[in-house]
């Protein structure tokens, strides 16, 4: 991370500090297959203003399925264009870390460490972990520690871990050639403030997945969302309505029109 990324974050300087313009230009929303170094991915792009987080229905029960969220939105005359599992959750489908929806903090920031002696360390606790968030129409990703120091007035926020790319550098703990390969999903803030979500079609390791964001997609900051059975994507145009083997998803990040 460069020196300016470690400075205190004031609300007015937030976008500049994180390398994101104050008003990112709208992007065409789309999901499409792509390939990077022999691995296949589905990559979805959106402008920050298009994105919403959803977790619970009118009865305060987790949606758990993308099509359940789509049905609820359709009843209000809205369309879910695409969605992804927005981060890790517990057995009650409650987010493990910070969760802010429509400006309301529903789950507080999680600054705890993995229990001593825990092997392997769960992905969420591989520090630095981080937060994807949107203030107004500006998206950003930063470490949990920097988010805590800044306390931005986020419209939406989801915490996960580990960070994949931090200020243009790969997370220092990611291992080239690692045999820990599984399906993975993540989110990056890229180029002129565009948000890019990537889901691997097969098994990839963390190092290769982080390099997809930095070297192929041009993301200076990227955050891991989930892996293995927790990976999920909804996109009717691609015929995707993934169902979690865990019995459902927790928070969902998507474009709603």
DSSP 102: T
Q: What is the pLDDT of residue 205?
A: 97
In a domain, 15, yes or no: no
Q: What is the pLDDT of residue 28?
A: 58
Provide the phi-psi class of 123: left if phi over 0, else alpha when psi is between -120 and 50, else beta: alpha
In a domain, 233, yes or no: yes
Q: What is the pLDDT of residue 29?
A: 58
In a domain, 19, yes or no: no
In a domain, 20, yes or no: no
In a domain, 211, yes or no: yes
User: What ranges in 108-169 are assigned the alpha helix state H?
Assistant: 144-150
pLDDT category at 214 given cuts 50, 70, 90 is very high
In a domain, 5, yes or no: no
In a domain, 124, yes or no: yes
pTM, 2 dp: 0.90
Q: What is the pLDDT of residue 3?
A: 33
In a domain, 12, yes or no: no
Q: Which DSSP helix (H) or strand (E) runs through 210?
A: helix 206-211
Count: domains in the chain: 1
Domain span at residue 170? 25-256
pLDDT > 80? residue 16: no
**pLDDT single digits (tens) 22-60:** 444 445 558 999 999 999 999 999 999 999 999 999 999
**pLDDT single digits (tens) 107-150:** 999 999 988 878 888 999 999 999 999 999 999 999 999 999 99
């Amino acid at each position: 991370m460069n020196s300016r990324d470690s400075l205190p974050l004031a609300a007015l300087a937030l976008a500049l500090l994180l390398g994101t313009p104050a008003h990112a230009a709208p992007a065409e929303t789309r999901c499409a297959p792509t390939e990077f170094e022999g691995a296949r991915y589905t990559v979805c792009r959106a402008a920050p203003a298009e994105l919403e987080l959803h977790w619970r229905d009118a009865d305060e029960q987790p949606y758990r399925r993308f099509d359940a969220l789509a049905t609820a939105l359709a009843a209000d005359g809205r369309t879910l264009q695409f969605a992804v599992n927005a981060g890790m959750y517990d057995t009650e489908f409650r987010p493990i870390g910070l969760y802010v929806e429509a400006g309301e903090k529903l789950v507080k920031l999680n600054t705890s460490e993995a229990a001593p002696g825990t092997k392997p360390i769960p992905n969420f606790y591989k520090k630095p972990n981080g937060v994807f968030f949107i203030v107004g129409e500006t998206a950003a990703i930063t470490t949990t520690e920097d988010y805590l120091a800044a306390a931005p007035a986020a419209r939406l926020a989801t915490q996960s871990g580990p960070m994949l790319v931090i200020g243009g550098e790969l997370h220092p703990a990611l291992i080239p050639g690692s045999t820990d390969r599984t399906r993975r999903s993540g989110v990056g803030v890229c180029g002129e403030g565009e948000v890019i979500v990537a889901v691997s079609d097969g098994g990839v390791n963390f190092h290769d997945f982080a390099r997809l964001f930095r070297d192929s997609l041009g993301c200076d900051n990227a955050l891991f969302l989930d892996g293995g059975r927790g990976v999920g994507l909804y996109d009717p145009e691609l015929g995707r309505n993934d169902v979690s083997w865990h019995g459902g998803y927790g928070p969902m990040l998507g474009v709603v029109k």
